[in-house]
């Protein structure tokens, strides 16, 4: 069975020849839960929905199908401020990869 296409917001810049063609995306959803992680979005040709920032991910550009449009500005977004150093958490990718093979686990 073919997988359903889903709109998403692409966060990227143009790649240089030696760089991997991978983009970060924020999925668009119609299942609104009114959380502070949803950014309301309306676009001609699409039902009213929101970008779900908790669903952020990365994907090779070869997986993208077509451009639906561009987003110049999102007025609902407050001006971004860098987090305080106490709020930063770094993850060791090897630990995340190992944890994902046997279920998620939290480590300090």
Q: Please tell me the predicted confidence (pLDDT) of residue 88.
A: 44
pLDDT at 101 over 70: no
At residue 78 the predicted structure's pLDDT band, cuts being 50, 70 and 90, is low
Burial 17-44 (b: 16+ CB within 10 A, else e): eeeeeebebbbbbeeeeeeeebbebeee
Domain range list for the chain: 8-78
C-alpha to C-alpha distances, 54 to 14, 45, 66, nearest whole angstrom? 24, 24, 23
- Work out the percent of the chain whose per-residue pLDDT is above 70: 63
Q: Is 41 helix (H, G, I), strand (E, B) or coil?
A: strand
Helices (H), 1-108: 93-101
């Amino acid at each position: 069975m073919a997988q359903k296409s889903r709109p998403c917001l692409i966060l990227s810049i143009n790649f240089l020849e030696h760089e991997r063609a991978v983009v970060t995306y924020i999925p668009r959803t119609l299942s609104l839960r009114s959380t502070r992680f949803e950014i309301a979005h309306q676009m001609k040709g699409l039902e009213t929905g929101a970008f779900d920032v908790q669903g952020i991910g990365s994907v090779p550009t070869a997986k993208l199908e077509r451009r639906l449009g561009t987003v110049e500005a999102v007025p609902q977004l407050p001006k971004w401020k860098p987090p305080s150093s106490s709020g930063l958490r770094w993850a060791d990718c090897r630990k995340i990869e190992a944890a994902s093979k046997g279920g998620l686990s939290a480590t300090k």
